[in-house]
Amino acid sequence: MTEGIGARVKRTEDRRFITGKGKYTDDIRMENQAYAAFVRSPHAHAKVTGIDRSAAEAMEGVVAVLDGHQLTGDGIGNIICGWAITSKDGSAMNMGAWSALATDRVRYVGDAVAVVIADTAAQARLAAEAVEVEYEELPAVTNAEKALAEGAPQLHDNAPGNLIYDWEIGEEAATDEALAGAAHVTELPIVNNRVSPNAMEPRSAVAIYDEADEHYTLYTTSQNPHVARLVLSAFYNVAPEHKLRVVAPDVGGGFGSKIYIYPEEITCLWASMKTGRSVKWTSTRSEAFMTDAHGRDHVSKARIGFDTEGKIVGLKVDTIANFGAYMSLFSSAVPTYLYATLLSGQYDIQNIHCNVRAVYTNTVPVDAYRGAGRPEACYLVERLMETAAREMGADPAELRRKNFITEFPHQTPVIMNYDSGDFHGNLDKAMAAADVAGFDERRKEAAARGKLRGLGYSCYIEACGIAPSAAVGSLGAGVGLWESAEVRVNPVGTIEVLTGSHSHGQGHETTFAQVVADRFGVPLNSVSIVHGDTDKVQFGMGTYGSRSGAVGLSAISRAMDKVEAKVKKIAAHTLEAAEDDIVIEGGEVKVAGTDRKMAWHEVGLAAYTGHNLPPDMEPGLKEGAFYDPVNFTFPAGAYICEVEVDPDTGVTEIVQFTAADDFGTIINPMIVEGQVHGGVAQGIGQALLENVVYDDAGQLLTGSYMDYAMPRAWDTPFYTLEHNTTVCPNNPLGLKGCGEAGAIGAPPAVINAITDAIGDNDLQMPATPQKVWRMIQATQTPIAAE
């Protein structure tokens, strides 16, 4: 099969992307187009005591200047977090009110207080500067630990002590007891640094209100337009669902940051109704740094205990998660059910306890970012394993092997039930490809060149396709996490697949079509994938958490089952054969073992002419499915990073990076490799370069690429990739997911390699040259006491 499952098909969508023919939200221009510019708080925390709009209103081109009192006055609802977490004392989480435009108080630099609608974007921006907002400054806090401290500035009246929830999982007493009896305990403070998502395409919205039909259309940069419509309708009261169409056209990257519904989209919809104009807003890069939901920002203390044989007896973790100024849509689930449930890693650990406190600070809201909770868990567990091995004088690979889970299904003490995997096999493949055996030689050779060479492992496991709906519902999720599909075979035999998944870089138009081509033996170019428009596609759940393969394609597969059944019925009737004897092969529908057959398109035509169908059969050939998985899927792998550190400058060069992944079935190896490359690059970015910094007053110091270090091509090596496939037993295609693995597995491998090189384990991300140099100064060239 040159186009089906397993084929390295070039991405069909790339033709329009690389020739500049993509159609993004900002490319959409309506008749009567007006532009929005937001008036944003320059203060991290302040009371809004007055807004003077007169100067702005008088400016050329200005259509309207609107504020939060008008917005709430029109009944627009507060922005919500859709996953209810219950604290360990049984109390509900403390969600503070978040209005799309602030009314009386601002809580982070960039918080929107008003919006200007004008004929041109430049006029809107100029007028936004002329809106005079009177603030009464309040003390601010940006660090989560400080926010919990006595006397810290308070952000929301209903969240005393800035505490959103204090949650736990696992058995504390049993874990304490296990640790008390351990032969060796390794303890590490772990900081998971805050990062900015930096999608290539900034967020954008075009809102169109049709007064005659009382109907709204929103074009927006969304990873899940259906959920956006639901939330805009059910919670923000913009319009009832049948009067609101949401379209997410081509979207240039999301990494999680485009899952959420932000103040700007809501405001544009409302402003379009207010002004009778179509309203467009496109984020500047500065606004993106200031307002796109950030990722990570955990501070943890972790202890892991081992018996004399090196078997893990217990793991105890205390985590503080910085949520920023407001609770973003999925924020609450990230440091709980997407994080603490993965703390067992690839290891058989009987006792785990994790406590998580979620905290408000005067920073931009934090939510899921490529990996969402799993990178934080993996980083913590894998730093602990490597450090423990060093402390105990054990080989880090051997210590892991001693503790690997080898039998499936495996129930961890933290909810997850691993369905499949081959952790030894992953590590074998990675170690062979990375030539671990030759490392000592390479280290010596590097030393002769004055370089410190180190090697670090990371054996990650993660959970994709968050599900099933009943289970997530019982844990507090406000939505179900299934996916929908509709497969339409046209009268001429071409096929349209309508999916609730959304592609914003993943290559669905190619991989999804490959699966369909594979099933029906039709050419790839006779299949098209339709997504991202609530007027075209049935309700769906969108793309995040590496769910499009495991959940989205499973739904398509189920719909194809139904199509296949009908096709066989039609062919059996036409060819006067038994249904069971019909096979679909190479674009033909045949009676097995005979030369009787119909071309694929003849079946399509027969279905739609209806001239000769089996009695009682409805005409047409179109089937739908809603697929709700029975479990998460569990991609896992072994990553090995080798670095050389320059002791003179502290610069780390990644000289070798090996990834052996188990993603289950692979549909398009080229696209999967691209996902691993991108994910690992993002992980390297977090490990070496990326860091959001606020000063104590709450000003964002990393507000542009002058100060926020993104990885560039030369920061990343040529990767060595291996696959070790165990098929997922729980979905029709055996898929596990590959979209986030790299970003999850890479950071600990990089940091473990650097700490190996410099001989000091107490390193926090990002491992900047200055930080590493200073540690080398301390460990390698002690300054003689006077």
Partner 1 sequence: MYPTKYHKPASLEDAVAGLRSAEDGALLAGGQTLLPTMKQHLAAPTDLIDIRGIDGMSGIRVEGDVLVIGAATTHAEVAGSSDVQAAIPALAQLASGIGDAAVRHMGTIGGSVANNDPVADYPSAVLALGATIVTDRREIAAEDYFQGMFMTALEEAEIIRELRFPKPRRAAYAKFPNPASRYALVGVFVADTAAGACVAVTGASESGVFRHEGLEAALSGDFSADAVDGVEISSEGFMSDIHADADYRANLVRVMARRAVAALG
Token pair recorded at residue 468:
């099933």
In the bound state with partner 1, the residue whose beta carbon lies nearer, of 122 and 599, is 122
C-alpha span between 138 and 43 (Å, rounded): 9
C-alpha span between 725 and 735 (Å, rounded): 10
C-alpha span between 165 and 759 (Å, rounded): 38
Contact 51, 114 (CB under 8 A): yes
Per CB under 8 A, contacts with partner 1 among 453-492 are none
User: How many CA within 13 A on the CB side of residue 64?
Assistant: 21
Report in angstroms how near the CB of residue 16 gets to partner 1 at its nearest.
Answer: 24
Our finding on whether 708 is near partner 1 (CB under 8 A) is yes
Which of 87, 142, 499, 702 forms a contact with partner 1 (CB under 8 A)? 702
In the bound state with partner 1, the residue whose beta carbon lies nearer, of 126 and 389, is 126
Our finding on whether 705 is near partner 1 (CB under 8 A) is yes
Query: Which span sits near partner 1 by CB under 8 A: 319-327, 555-563, 621-629, 705-713?
Result: 705-713
The DSSP bridge partners found for residue 660 are 638, 722
Our finding on whether 42 is near partner 1 (CB under 8 A) is no
- Residue listed under structure tokens 């785990």: 352
Contact 600, 490 (CB under 8 A): no
Our finding on whether 778 is near partner 1 (CB under 8 A) is no
Contact 456, 755 (CB under 8 A): yes
C-alpha span between 643 and 396 (Å, rounded): 17
Token pair recorded at residue 675:
């996902």
534 Cβ partners below 8 Å, 6+ apart? Answer: 225, 226, 229, 244, 245, 246, 247
Report in angstroms how near the CB of residue 50 gets to partner 1 at its nearest.
Answer: 23
Our finding on whether 774 is near partner 1 (CB under 8 A) is yes
**Burial group, residue 725, by CB count within 10 angstroms (0-12, 13-18, 19+):** middle
In the bound state with partner 1, the residue whose beta carbon lies nearer, of 54 and 120, is 120
User: Is the bond preceding 766 in cis, omega lying within 30 degrees of 0?
Assistant: yes
Contact 346, 748 (CB under 8 A): no
Per CB under 8 A, contacts with partner 1 among 240-299 are 286
Which of 163, 693, 697, 763 forms a contact with partner 1 (CB under 8 A)? 693
* Phi, psi at 294, each rounded to 5°: -80, 175
Which of 648, 696, 759, 762 forms a contact with partner 1 (CB under 8 A)? 648
Distance of CA 411 to the CA centre of its chain: 25
Report in angstroms how near the CB of residue 653 gets to partner 1 at its nearest.
Answer: 13
- The closest alpha carbon to 197, from 296, 326, 335, belongs to 296
- For residue 160, how many other CB atoms are within 10 A of its CB? 9
Report in angstroms how near the CB of residue 70 gets to partner 1 at its nearest.
Answer: 26
Number of residues that bind partner 1 (CB under 8 A): 22
Our finding on whether 699 is near partner 1 (CB under 8 A) is no
C-alpha span between 44 and 316 (Å, rounded): 34
Token pair recorded at residue 84:
């209810």
Report in angstroms how near the CB of residue 190 gets to partner 1 at its nearest.
Answer: 21
- The closest alpha carbon to 346, from 455, 430, 458, belongs to 458
C-alpha span between 138 and 116 (Å, rounded): 26
In the bound state with partner 1, the residue whose beta carbon lies nearer, of 38 and 708, is 708
How do beta strands 244-247 and 622-627 pair? Answer: unpaired
Report in angstroms how near the CB of residue 59 gets to partner 1 at its nearest.
Answer: 12
Per CB under 8 A, contacts with partner 1 among 649-688 are 649, 688
Report in angstroms how near the CB of residue 773 gets to partner 1 at its nearest.
Answer: 6
Report in angstroms how near the CB of residue 655 gets to partner 1 at its nearest.
Answer: 18
In the bound state with partner 1, the residue whose beta carbon lies nearer, of 378 and 776, is 776
In the bound state with partner 1, the residue whose beta carbon lies nearer, of 49 and 777, is 777
Report in angstroms how near the CB of residue 448 gets to partner 1 at its nearest.
Answer: 17
Report in angstroms how near the CB of residue 62 gets to partner 1 at its nearest.
Answer: 15
Token pair recorded at residue 70:
């008008």
Contact 542, 223 (CB under 8 A): yes
In the bound state with partner 1, the residue whose beta carbon lies nearer, of 470 and 706, is 706
Report in angstroms how near the CB of residue 294 gets to partner 1 at its nearest.
Answer: 16
C-alpha span between 455 and 670 (Å, rounded): 27
C-alpha span between 123 and 35 (Å, rounded): 9
- The closest alpha carbon to 333, from 124, 575, 578, 165, belongs to 165
Which of 524, 709, 727, 763 forms a contact with partner 1 (CB under 8 A)? 709
In the bound state with partner 1, the residue whose beta carbon lies nearer, of 575 and 709, is 709
In the bound state with partner 1, the residue whose beta carbon lies nearer, of 565 and 701, is 701
In the bound state with partner 1, the residue whose beta carbon lies nearer, of 124 and 342, is 124
In the bound state with partner 1, the residue whose beta carbon lies nearer, of 709 and 727, is 709
Token pair recorded at residue 289:
């740094």
Distance of CA 603 to the CA centre of its chain: 41
Report in angstroms how near the CB of residue 181 gets to partner 1 at its nearest.
Answer: 44
In the bound state with partner 1, the residue whose beta carbon lies nearer, of 10 and 285, is 285
Query: Which span sits near partner 1 by CB under 8 A: 335-343, 430-438, 707-715, 735-743?
Result: 707-715
Report in angstroms how near the CB of residue 786 gets to partner 1 at its nearest.
Answer: 16
Which of 212, 706, 783, 785 forms a contact with partner 1 (CB under 8 A)? 706
In the bound state with partner 1, the residue whose beta carbon lies nearer, of 435 and 715, is 715
In the bound state with partner 1, the residue whose beta carbon lies nearer, of 541 and 643, is 643
Q: For residue 593, give the 3-state DSSP assignment.
A: coil
Note the maximum CA span of the chain: 101
Query: Which span sits near partner 1 by CB under 8 A: 260-268, 488-496, 700-708, 727-735?
Result: 700-708
- Residue listed under structure tokens 């186009």: 3
Report in angstroms how near the CB of residue 148 gets to partner 1 at its nearest.
Answer: 24
**Burial group, residue 444, by CB count within 10 angstroms (0-12, 13-18, 19+):** exposed
In the bound state with partner 1, the residue whose beta carbon lies nearer, of 129 and 441, is 129
C-alpha span between 108 and 102 (Å, rounded): 11
Which of 701, 778, 779, 780 forms a contact with partner 1 (CB under 8 A)? 701
Our finding on whether 200 is near partner 1 (CB under 8 A) is no
In the bound state with partner 1, the residue whose beta carbon lies nearer, of 500 and 711, is 711
User: How many CA within 13 A on the CB side of residue 462?
Assistant: 34
Per CB under 8 A, contacts with partner 1 among 751-770 are 768-770
Report in angstroms how near the CB of residue 772 gets to partner 1 at its nearest.
Answer: 11
428 Cβ partners below 8 Å, 6+ apart? Answer: none
Task: Lay out the site mask for partner 1 across 592-631 (x = CB under 8 A, - = otherwise).
Answer: ----------------------------------------
User: How many CA within 13 A on the CB side of residue 537?
Assistant: 33
In the bound state with partner 1, the residue whose beta carbon lies nearer, of 212 and 713, is 713
Report in angstroms how near the CB of residue 126 gets to partner 1 at its nearest.
Answer: 7
Report in angstroms how near the CB of residue 193 gets to partner 1 at its nearest.
Answer: 13
Our finding on whether 773 is near partner 1 (CB under 8 A) is yes
Sheet strand arrangement including 495-499: 527-530, 495-499, 483-489, 622-627
- For residue 180, how many other CB atoms are within 10 A of its CB? 11
In the bound state with partner 1, the residue whose beta carbon lies nearer, of 121 and 163, is 121
Our finding on whether 689 is near partner 1 (CB under 8 A) is yes
Task: Lay out the site mask for partner 1 across 115-144 (x = CB under 8 A, - = otherwise).
Answer: -------x---x--x---------------
Q: Which residues bind partner 1 (CB under 8 A)?
A: 122, 126, 129, 286, 648-649, 688-689, 693, 701-702, 705-710, 768-770, 773-774
